[in-house]
C-alpha cells in the first residue's frame, strides 16, 4: 500500500493530506459518518506506523 511507484524517470509515493475548515464551526461529521471516518483514519495511521518500523 505504501510502496514506492517506479516510472521510467521518477519514483514517487502518493499520500493524501486532509484539511477541515473550521471557519463556521458547524458539526458536519456526525453519527455514522463520524464513526466510520474516524475508524478509517485510525486504520490508515496504524498502517503507516507499521510500514515505518
Residue whose C-alpha is closest to residue 20's, from 48, 39, 41: 41
Helix (H, G, I), strand (E, B) or coil at 30: coil
Q: What is the mean pLDDT of the chain?
A: 79
Model confidence, pTM:
0.53
Widest Cα–Cα separation across the chain: 46
Cα angle vertex 20, ends 28, 41, to 5°?
85
pLDDT digits (tens, 9 = 90+) for 26-46: 777 789 988 998 899 899 888
Question: Can you give the C-alpha Rg of the chain in angstroms?
Answer: 16
Amino acid at each position: 500500500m505504501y510502496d514506492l511507484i517506479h516510472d521510467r524517470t521518477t519514483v514517487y509515493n502518493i499520500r493524501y493530506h486532509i484539511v477541515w475548515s473550521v471557519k463556521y464551526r458547524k458539526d458536519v461529521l456526525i453519527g455514522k459518518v463520524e464513526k466510520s471516518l474516524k475508524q478509517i483514519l485510525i486504520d490508515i495511521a496504524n498502517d503507516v506506523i507499521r510500514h515505518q518500523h
